[in-house]
Structure 1
Amino acid sequence: MAKIQAVVFDFDGLIVDTEVQWYNAVREIYAEYGADFTLEIFGSIVGTHSGPDFIERKLEELIGRPVDRPAVKAAYQARQRELSKGQQPRPGVEDYIRAAKDLGLKIGLASSSHRDWIDRHLEELGLRHHFVHIRTADDVEKVKPDPALYLRVLEDLGVEPQHAIAFEDSPNGALAAHRAGMNVVIVPNLVTSPLPFGEHHLRLTSMAEMELEKVIEQIEGL
């Protein structure tokens, strides 16, 4: 296995648990209408774009009648903000960033979310200064599971796919990294851990489980 020169992080659900809060918020709003936002529905869209009004349209499909879509969207977004107050990075994230810098690795971020969302959250978490090379939904025609986001970040970093590790929490994200030819380490969160993942090189319960140096040793030893 080629020597690792870079690490590329996903954002939502990996660096911070926005996906858990979003899932819980949507599920609460669905319950008010007598519907269930299941893990199966969530798993089909997590890590990618669900398309305009997917949540609202799916609710209408489940209950068999129209809803006030703007009101539904405003309700689950407000609930997500409430649930997300005071959030911190997932365990081990900041240690991995520091270790990557100490090891002289290049650092990137590839997210299917939009840039303003990423920048706002990174600023709130105090992590924005760590990421120079960021690619988001604003930079590509197709987001994950398409590999375009990862390929753009790798181009920015000047690193070949086999020399980089992608850290992902969702099946769609892991598939995108695999399609880009990268080494894939999955770190599922509470809501993505039950979902079926495709090909990957290593699975961690959190980044606190194993030091980055050990992860790299395992990947390079494959």
Structure 2
Amino acid sequence: MATHHTSFLIWIYGLLLDTESIYTECMQSILDRYGKVYTRESKIKAMGRPRLEAAQVVVDDAGIPLTAEEFSKELYSLLFERFPTARYMYMPVPLALATSSHTAAFESKMSQKPELLSCFSHTVCGDNPEVKNGKPSPDIFLVAASKFDPPPLSMDKVLVFEDAPNGVVGAKAAGMNVVMVPDKMIDPELTKEADVVLESLTSIRLEDWGLPAISFD
């Protein structure tokens, strides 16, 4: 099934940077005040969505007396304290980044990871004015692909790494191929749209996709 790919996209949450566990802990710390639990169902619906949409999902599902804006403001205050401690995995291949994070959140995550940021040829954040709609729409992937130099000849020459169902839907809608490394909480039924599903990013064989083989430190 190998296809020659000339460009490579990757979504950073939970893959290169272990931020998904930080999100979960910070979400739960807010819900604890109301005796609520950040459920598996809420997490699956919220993952990969724009900031306020994700907050609205959690607020509605938990039934807490906060607006999405209030919840998001408190959440990001907690996240900004924790992001610089996120662990990362280095991939020595050319990369571009498409992330639903707004620029301020992204910069916080990367503040102590300059060597990781240098791996990317370019980044596209969720508040980029060219991104009209958040995941699961394909906008962010199409914008990121368009910024490769030279750009891919067609979208099926782009390989995307994702960990969220909303991101998989968006990348497939863009006509791209998707390798999914899902959170263990995600129902296997929600991984079926991905071309390949892996338990760990370290098990990827990029040579199967026409890219150089890599090793992980």
TM-score interval, normalised by the smaller of the two chains: 0.7 to 0.9
**Which residue of the partner structure matches residue 87 of structure 2?**
88
Displacement, 1:2?
3.9
Displacement, 1:213?
2.7
**Which residue of the partner structure matches residue 172 of structure 1?**
166
Q: Which of residues 56, 69, 74 is equivalent to 1:54?
A: 56
**How many percent of aligned residue pairs carry the same amino acid?**
24
After superposition, where does 1:2-41 map in structure 2 within 5 Å? 2-41=3-42
TM-score (norm 2): 0.78
Aligned pair 1:129/2:130, yes or no? no
* Contact 2:42/2:57 (<8 A) preserved: no
Aligned length: 203
After superposition, where does 1:164-203 map in structure 2 within 5 Å? 164-192=158-186, 196-203=190-197
After the TM superposition, which of the residue ranges 205-214 and 179-188 deviates more from structure 2?
Answer: 205-214
Distance (whole Å) between structure 2 residues aligned to residue 130 and residue 169 of structure 1:
20
Aligned pair 1:151/2:139, yes or no? no
Distance (whole Å) between structure 2 residues aligned to residue 148 and residue 70 of structure 1:
23
Q: Considering only aligned residues, what root-mean-square deviation do their CA atoms show, in Å?
A: 2.9
Task: Write out per-residue CA displacement over residues 1-21 of structure 1, whole angstroms, 9 at most, x where no aligned residue.
Answer: 641111101122222121221
* Contact 2:47/2:166 (<8 A) preserved: yes
Task: Write out per-residue CA displacement over residues 150-173 of structure 1, whole angstroms, 9 at most, x where no aligned residue.
Answer: 111111110121111100000000
Structure 1: tracts of 5 or more residues without a match: 102-106, 218-222
Letter in 2 for 1:180: A
Distance (whole Å) between structure 2 residues aligned to residue 153 and residue 75 of structure 1:
29
Distance (whole Å) between structure 2 residues aligned to residue 132 and residue 84 of structure 1:
22
Distance (whole Å) between structure 2 residues aligned to residue 216 and residue 168 of structure 1:
19
User: 1 or 2 for the larger relative contact order (CA 8 Å, sep ≥6)?
Assistant: 1
Letter in 2 for 1:135: V
After superposition, where does 1:62-77 map in structure 2 within 5 Å? 62-63=63-64, 66-67=65-66, 75-77=74-76
After superposition, where does 1:107-122 map in structure 2 within 5 Å? 107-122=95-110
Displacement, 1:67?
4.8
* Contact 1:56/1:67 (<8 A) preserved: no
Distance (whole Å) between structure 2 residues aligned to residue 200 and residue 70 of structure 1:
32
* Contact 1:171/1:198 (<8 A) preserved: no
**Which residue of the partner structure matches residue 104 of structure 1?**
none
Distance (whole Å) between structure 2 residues aligned to residue 67 and residue 199 of structure 1:
34
* Contact 1:14/1:189 (<8 A) preserved: no
TM-score (norm 1): 0.77
SS in 2 for 1:108: strand
**Compared with structure 1, are the counterparts of its residues 9 and 57 closer, same or farther at alpha carbon in structure 2 (3 Å cutoff)?**
same
> Which of these two proteins has the greater Rg computed from alpha carbons?
1
